[in-house]
Amino acid sequence: MASADLPAGLLDALRQAGRVVFLTGAGVSAESGVPTFRDALTGLWARFRPEELATPEAFRRNPQLVWDWYRERRRQVAAVAPNPAHCAIATLQARLPHTLLVTQNVDGLHQRAGSVDAVEFHGNLFTNRCRGCGHTAPQGDPQLAAPPPCPECGELMGPGVVWFGEAIPGEALERAWRGASEADIVLAIGTSGLVTPAASLPEVARQGGALVVEVNLQPTPLSAQADFVVTGPAAQSLPAIVAVL
């Protein structure tokens, strides 16, 4: 995408912005080839529904089954690389004065591209978390065949992602809401605008007087309310912004 294809006024708005919030969803990761949550349930896993594997109840019922599926999920995600959209966001964070990255993705690709201090709404696939005491730790050995015991309380550690039926971490919510309410611009990138509470962040920002930019392959419920809409792959749109900003 050439800079001439970007909406008029977008670049000037970014140049003048003091505080910018990036909100990213599954569309950004899909451009790296990360399988969607349901696409990952293929082959031996095709007989399961995601809700049968991604809940605290499923882990209590059969921790080995859940661990095995997430080990396969980790293998799939580790095999892909950050795309130009991830890299462009990291570059923009380095160039703009005050930014906050809020992501619904659990794959860690933003960090691998150079972004720091991301607010991870749904946790991180490459950490482990104890549902008993809340202790978190890095994944460790990717070949570990069984869920490890928690060093704090002895219960089994599961993947560090937010499962169905679990709340978004309070610190992530607080940082995201504060960032949106103080933002001058929010860029919603590759997100469907359907999954709450992340879908509410652009509206929180608008109520505070911020401009909202949507970058997506297709229209979403956010499109009609956005001040700027950039239609196309984020891996093309965001580098075009970086090139001329």
Which residues are part of the catalytic machinery? 122
Are 166 and 141 in contact, with CB atoms under 8 Å apart? no
Q: At what angle do helices 84-95 and 234-244 cross, to 10 degrees?
A: 30
SS3 readout for the chain: CCHHHCCCCHHHHHHHCCEEEEEECHHHHHCCCCCCCCCCCCHHHCCCCHHHHCCHHHHHHCHHHHHHHHHHHHHHHHCCCCCHHHHHHHHHHHHCCEEEEEECCCCCHHHHHCCCCCEECCEEEEEEEECCCCCEEECCCCCCCCCCECCCCCCEEEEEECCCCCCCCHHHHHHHHHHHHHCCEEEEECCCCCCCCHHHHHHHHHHCCCEEEEEECCCCCCHHHCCEEEECCHHHHHHHHHHHC
Q: What distance in Å separates the CA atoms of residue 74 and residue 150, rounded to the nearest whole number?
A: 20
